[in-house]
Amino acid sequence: NHDQDHTPSMIGTNLPPSGSNASARVPSDVVVKALVRWGLATLYWWIISQWFFGPGLFDRVFVLTGGSCSVDGHWSQYHCRRQGGNWSGGIDISGHMFLLTHAWLFLMEELSLFLNVPEAWTALQNRRSAKYAVWGVLALAGLWWWMLLMTSVYYHHLAEKLTGLFFGVLFWFGSYVTLYKIAPFPSMPDQAAVL
């Protein structure tokens, strides 16, 4: 079926293969898979930084490595600071390293079709809104790399930076490098469709 021969991406573009008269409509299963991948990435961030059956995983690591709040009874950085306390000691995992790495890897994987398949990049040039969206994401990615550099130079100790980087890479490795390559859902779009 020629209408199914589409090349979609997470940002809502759907480019027919070069020389094709295929419709530019994004198949609903592609949209659902993209939303599930986005939802899983967001859930991972939430569990790591916000809530893990109580305080977030980062707060738990901080306390388990000897960190504490100067105001007794607070297990989360948010509640400690809200009560006027200081969060000190322990390994304070770099949330900036984590979030910037996690978000950058997620977006680059979702844009991988345009970055790795020349025909997709060429077809993208004919769709103004999609082209601007991709360029916008690439500009954001460049800004994030600059922010990562500044974070790595000026903030946190080496162990805190490396653990933030580790948790940022962990989701990408577990999902895009392994699971999404073998699982039919929520797998990435087939890049061969554009060739």
* Marked catalytic residue, from 6, 74, 102, 156: 156
Tell me whether residue 2 is one of the annotated catalytic residues.
Answer: no
The first and second tokens of residue 143, run together, are 């800004």
Tell me whether residue 156 is one of the annotated catalytic residues.
Answer: yes
What is the C-alpha separation between 118 and 124, in angstroms, rounded?
A: 10
* Marked catalytic residue, from 6, 74, 96, 102: 96
Cβ-based burial of 64 (10 A; exposed 0-12, middle 13-18, buried ≥19): exposed
What is the C-alpha separation between 101 and 84, in angstroms, rounded?
A: 30
User: Collapsing DSSP states into helix, strand and coil, what is residue 93?
Assistant: coil
What is the C-alpha separation between 27 and 4, in angstroms, rounded?
A: 8
Give the active site residues.
96, 156
